[in-house]
A and B are shown apart, each in its own frame.
Chain A
Amino acid sequence: MTARIGVVTFPGSLDDRDAARAVRLAGAEPVRLWHADDDLAGVDAVVLPGGFSYGDYLRAGAISRFAPVMGAVVDAANGGMPVLGICNGFQILCESHLLAGAMVKNDHLHFVCRDQTLRVENASTAWTNAFEAGEEIVIPLKNQDGQFIADERTLDELEGEGRVVFRYTGVNPNGSRRDIAGITNARGNVVGLMPHPEHATEPGFGPGTDGLRFFTSAITAALATA
């Protein structure tokens, strides 16, 4: 059975095509979903891609949170479906309260674009089960509002429960608290991160193919629950 992984396109999404391509390269069938849809077409997992949905108006991800499709995404996430938010998708998941914390402007005020090394802190989520805990990977990072913040109590909770999934190593590119690059929910099915795994899925394009394993992880997770 081939897993079907949905990729949502919002007005202003940029990386939806790359995300769909990554899904295909990983061996799943990409299913294009539209922000105005109110169902998920029976997919096994969902990716909220990067970009600048609604021009980042109000706050990054704040308007997209109210898109019709997000009602179905929130329900599916609460039911255990693997959901990945990349960059703007991570911001949308935070605004939807599926993930803790929020993103604000990079501490240095500049847009940042670089190949970023990350340490995989939690290799048991639906999107990281193909990694080893402690493994270092390199995938592209590109953002303006990428500084992850939360209050100390929330940060302690995330650390204590193993919900920090990725940490920046070498350089903290945006001032994120405790070098946090990505987090998960309590159940481990919803993951959000600022860097872009979908841009590191094919030899010769980007820094390598570490990004591919996000999607093979989701296939494993989706088929295990199917």
Chain B
Amino acid sequence: MATVIVEVMPKPEILDPQGKAVAGALPRLGFTGFASVRQGKRFELEVEGEVTEEVLEQARRAAAEVLSNPVIEDVVSVHVLGEQA
């Protein structure tokens, strides 16, 4: 069983209210080392057997067409778990 990882982030120019809320909470808990936070999504797509180029291409298409909305989000990574992103 292999896993394809898809990571999606809000576009840099779009205000990320959730990240902002997290950034506001951190210093209150004593975590003062972080200037800002952005919150994104990580999808784990499990694959029966090995990840062929065809499966990886399907993951890229799913990432672009379903897992992200290009108006507000960027797909920042589609890679196999354990391999270099």
Selecting from B11-19, B28-36, B44-52, B53-61, the interface stretch reads: B11-19
Q: Among the listed B14, B21, B67, which residue makes an inter-chain contact with A109, where contact means beta carbons less than 8 Å apart?
A: B21
Residues on B with beta carbons closer than 8 Å to the beta carbon of A62: 66, 69
Q: A76 at interface (Cβ–Cβ under 8 A)?
A: no
Residues on B with beta carbons closer than 8 Å to the beta carbon of A59: 69
**Minimum CB–CB distance for A93 against chain B, Å:** 13
Interface size on B, residues (CB 8 A): 12
Pairwise interchain contact B17-A149, C-beta atoms closer than 8 A? no
**Minimum CB–CB distance for B26 against chain A, Å:** 16
Q: B1 at interface (Cβ–Cβ under 8 A)?
A: no
- Nearest residue, chain A, Cβ from B24: A109
Contact with A along B61-85 (1 / 0, CB 8 A): 0000011010110000000000000
Pairwise interchain contact B17-A105, C-beta atoms closer than 8 A? yes
Contact with B along A19-39 (1 / 0, CB 8 A): 000000000000000000000
Q: Please, how many angstroms separate the alpha-carbon atoms of A85 and B39 in the complex?
A: 28
Main secondary structure on chain A at its contact with chain B?
Answer: loop
Q: Among the listed A102, A105, A151, which residue makes an inter-chain contact with B18, where contact means beta carbons less than 8 Å apart?
A: A105
Q: Please, how many angstroms separate the alpha-carbon atoms of A62 and B65 in the complex?
A: 10
Pairwise interchain contact A109-B17, C-beta atoms closer than 8 A? yes
Q: Please, how many angstroms separate the alpha-carbon atoms of A32 and B39 in the complex?
A: 39
Pairwise interchain contact B69-A95, C-beta atoms closer than 8 A? yes
**Minimum CB–CB distance for A120 against chain B, Å:** 25
- Chain B contacts to A: CB under 8 angstroms: 10, 14-15, 17-18, 20-21, 66-67, 69, 71-72
Q: 18 A-B pairs, CB-CB below 8 angstroms? A: A58-B66, A59-B69, A62-B69, A66-B66, A95-B69, A102-B71, A102-B72, A104-B14, A104-B17, A106-B17, A107-B17, A109-B17, A109-B18, A109-B20, A149-B14, A149-B72, A150-B71, A175-B15
